[in-house]
Amino acid sequence: MSQLHLFSDNAPIHRATDPATSKQASRTYTKTGQRDSDKQRVLAAVVQYPNRTSKELAQLTGIDRHLLAKRLPDLRADGRVQNGETRVCSVSGNGAMTWEVCE
């Protein structure tokens, strides 16, 4: 059965210099629909909690911060989210970019 992809997953998520095993893993992650599923979860988090940093989103939703940090740029490339203001993150205490849904 074919997986319906709601996002543009044409861009590879591995670097040209990555080992073959990493490249295969990234292709499988996309082909199985897991990447699409993760992007849906991350987009829902930004819709629910706009103008938050990835660490704040992780704390609020329980989604792994590293997954957020990887899928948010994917969603930006898809035109679904954009960077908001840069401000001090309430979790880390450091300056960080926030994320918001594109209008």
What is the percent of the chain with per-residue pLDDT over 70, rounded to a whole number? 88
pLDDT for the residue 14 = 78
Q: Range of 36's domain?
A: 21-101
Q: Does residue 95 belong to any structural domain of this protein?
A: yes
Do 25 and 13 contact (CB within 8 A), yes or no? no
The domain total for the chain is: 1
Could you tell me if residue 83 is inside a domain? yes
Which pLDDT value is given to residue 12? Answer: 64
List Cα–Cα distances, 93 to 27, 56, 88, in angstroms.
36, 11, 6
Q: Could you tell me if residue 69 is inside a domain?
A: yes
Give the CATH number, domain containing residue 44: 1.10.10.10
pTM, entire model: 0.84
Question: What's the pLDDT at 8?
Answer: 59
CA-based nearest residue to 72, from 41, 96, 93:
41
**29 assigned to some structural domain:** yes
Which residues, in sequence order, are bridge partners of residue 50?
A: none
Contact, 68 vs 23, CB < 8 A?
no
Ranges in the chain, pLDDT < 70:
1-12
